[in-house]
Structure 1
Amino acid sequence: GFQIGPLTVKNQEFGESVYEPGFVFVMAKFDGVLGLGYPSLAEELGTPVFDSIMNQKSVDQPIFSFYLSKSKMPRDPEGELLLGGIDEALYSGPISWNPVTLKSYWQIKMSSIQVQGALNFCPRGCQAIIDTGTSLIIGPNRDILALQQLIGATPTSIGEYLIDCARISSLPQVTITLNGVEYVLTAESYVKKELMGDHEICFSGFQGEDLHSSTDPLWILGDVFLSDYYSIYDRGQDRVGFAKARHTRYATLDAEMDR
């Protein structure tokens, strides 16, 4: 068995990685991958961790929730994975639910994604995978190329798209519509800032990749989206919920005042 906080998971199988191709494994600061998708996605013939937790009745509700912090301030809340519940201090407003369309990844229907005042990249609807393990928002190459042009991002030789940091405040919003609810991303959210030596470099938070899909065009809504929206994964009712994440210094204090 192994422990996550106060939870003990008995007889959990895991796969050991012995060959790790790719630069990310050299650079990344993690020791492993905790799979939280549906059992059909598991690499090993075994029970995924959250299924074990549900089977062993270790949590009150068959749900887990993610809060991804945007802040580096010491008093701000850090990122949080809550197994078996929802942390009301970390979001505000209502939770909007989306039914899972394919029980593999956490996949839902996306009605549209559009750049302010411009075309919709998903006119006949798309599918979107909600994935905390992907840092950017990923979409079909053709759509992402047009989107990069609309936000003024220019390609580099290594496939990254750069944005002039001085222009962030004047860049358009990107709006994603899921189940009738609009989720707005400002440039502050979709532009990633990196310090290179003593100067700041700004990257686009969108990346092109043609993902295989038997249905509609497939997108991945990764951390660029999930840093703005608290996400709840409900295995009991096969649905994903979103609410506006709180990113104030005194998140818990705000929650107390709302009550």
Structure 2
Amino acid sequence: MHYLPYSLALSCLLSLAQDNVLAAPSASASPLPRAIPLVRRAAAQRNASELSSWLSRQKEILEAKYSGSAAQRKRASGFNLLTNQNADSSFYGSIAVGTPAISYDVILDTGSSDLWLAASDGVSTTSDGIPTFDSTASSTFTDLDTTFSISYGSGAARGTLGKDAVQFAGFEVDQQTFGVVTQVSTDLLSAPVSGLMGLGFASIAASGATPFWQTLADNDGTLDSPLMAFQLTRFVDTTTSNALQPGGTFNLGAVNTSLFTGAIDYQDIPSGEEGYWIQELAALTVNGNSVTLDSGSGAYAAIDTGTTLVGGPQDAVSALYAQIEGSAPLTGNEGYWSYPCSTNVNVTMKFGSSSIAWPISNADFLLQQLSQDTCVGAFFALSTAGTSAPPWIVGDTFLKNVYSVFRSSPASVGFATLSAEALAMNGKTGAAPSATVGAVSATVTGSTANSGTDRSSSANGAPPSVGASVYALWAAALVSGLVGGAVML
């Protein structure tokens, strides 16, 4: 393995945290009432002091995030290609908003439930490159005249609530409530991302609005199946990479059988816990040795696509690293551990009553190489005491190793083994998908309680038969190295 200079290694860690800021909101506001490809951005170079800030920020972000409490047509499903940003630091897709519809890139976050976009009258500058939403340009926008705010470990976003037509993965909700953000803390947004789409349940939405996906799932007959699924690519172990890379695929309403093998192992969300996508962490091993875990709610884990790493209780994470010879708490960054890079670390996680122990690759456990001999691990101690958050937050460090499915009825999370086709996309550089306005297969009306310029790229969605065939062509071309760009429908 080639190692990076210490300052560059630290900078890479810092860059990962930047994107997590977007995907870790702990929102508060006056209550109101198909598939997407992902992309990754190359790590920015930073110094050693910035690394320390980054590591601390990771904890703050998660602690802040989890501290808070129609007309229709035939059934359909859709997909959208994802972007992998900053060496697996975050994954985003695209939505289209307003009339005429304009496309935006947004972080896709199963760990929160609010949709928000940066507004043109308060966030963007001429140099930051962040596309912003202009409510005056949409003939269907309604201002709900209600304040909206989301707090982060590193800052906050504030604005008002509105509603408008929103398209995503081949579907449209014509009265979707979302935040129009006019105040954002420094560095909270990073181009080309314009906001965040929460994919959790309505019960944890700060806005009080029903999330886009849940509106579709609750509207009987709209989706083929009430679920969404992710396949995420890995670039963290690639020595040369662009800032943005092909990130995988998001599916809505159906799974993509070409991306996994065998059965999907579904485990129900514990009764009454439908808010975050909760699973009980039943077993954790490192290099074949078991780590002692609490049971019941003490082992609850939020499965969170908007988080890069895996956070857990101090005693359990400490016990994990105790099984790695030569590991030690990272000086100056409480909750993180270093360990010898020469050690091949094999971690497995088992959930619910499942008999399957899902492995995490050594490439994903190795967060960053600090020197020729020292690396930082991707598991860290997270404090959720005094909050409503579960003690474990399981992010992309784990999710890159499985095909993950989030099903609303019955409320459950499923994992499956990635196919050879999916694994072949890891590290395959190419042009990242861009935000898009695509065809709409079905439209529903969102909750009414309390109440531009098109950027071409990958399809925002398509009927199942078309989407599957186009996806197959794109995947084959990407794996063969012929193309890496957008799919047009």
Cα deviation for residue 108 of structure 1 reads: 1.5
CA-to-partner distance for each residue in 1:17-40, whole Å, 9 max, x for gaps? 4454586x2568632121111110
Matching residue of 1:83: 252
Cα deviation for residue 214 of structure 1 reads: 8.7
Distance change in 2, residues 1:230/1:26 (3 Å): same
Question: 2: distance between equivalents of 1:47 and 1:175?
Answer: 34
* Matched ranges for 1:1-259 at <5 A: 1-21=165-185, 25=188, 30-56=193-219, 57-71=221-235, 78-101=247-270, 102-122=273-293, 124=295, 126-151=299-324, 152-154=326-328, 155-159=330-334, 160-165=336-341, 167=342, 170-178=343-351, 179=353, 180-193=355-368, 202-212=375-385, 218-246=391-419, 247-249=422-424
Letter in 1 for 2:413: V
**Contact 1:227–1:245 at 8 Å: present in 2 too?**
no
CA-to-partner distance for each residue in 1:73-129, whole Å, 9 max, x for gaps? 89x973211111101111122211100111010001221112234342315351111
134-143 or 226-235: bigger deviation: 134-143
8-17 or 185-194: bigger deviation: 185-194
Distance change in 2, residues 1:62/1:192 (3 Å): same
Cα deviation for residue 149 of structure 1 reads: 3.7
Question: 2: distance between equivalents of 1:250 and 1:31?
Answer: 26
Structure 2 unaligned regions, length at least 5: 1-164, 427-471, 477-489
Question: 2: distance between equivalents of 1:15 and 1:69?
Answer: 29
**Contact 2:366–2:376 at 8 Å: present in 1 too?**
yes
CA RMSD of aligned residues (A): 3.5
Distance change in 2, residues 1:201/1:118 (3 Å): closer
The higher radius of gyration belongs to: 2
Question: 2: distance between equivalents of 1:163 and 1:60?
Answer: 46
Cα deviation for residue 66 of structure 1 reads: 0.8
Distance change in 2, residues 1:46/1:248 (3 Å): closer
6-15 or 61-70: bigger deviation: 6-15
How high is the TM-score relative to the length of structure 1? Answer: 0.80
**Contact 2:300–2:390 at 8 Å: present in 1 too?**
yes
SS of 1:13's equivalent in the other structure is strand
47-56 or 34-43: bigger deviation: 47-56
Letter in 1 for 2:407: D
Question: 2: distance between equivalents of 1:216 and 1:49?
Answer: 23
Q: How many residues align?
A: 248
**Percent of aligned pairs sharing the same letter:** 26
**Contact 2:350–2:357 at 8 Å: present in 1 too?**
yes
SS of 1:15's equivalent in the other structure is strand
SS of 1:220's equivalent in the other structure is strand
SS of 2:305's equivalent in the other structure is coil
**Contact 1:136–1:205 at 8 Å: present in 2 too?**
yes
CA-to-partner distance for each residue in 1:134-171, whole Å, 9 max, x for gaps? 11111012221232343344414234433443x1xx33
Matching residue of 2:442: none
Cα deviation for residue 240 of structure 1 reads: 0.7
Question: 2: distance between equivalents of 1:108 and 1:46?
Answer: 24
Letter in 2 for 1:6: G
SS of 2:207's equivalent in the other structure is coil
SS of 1:12's equivalent in the other structure is strand
Structure 1 unaligned regions, length at least 5: none
Question: 1: distance between equivalents of 2:181 and 2:374?
Answer: 34
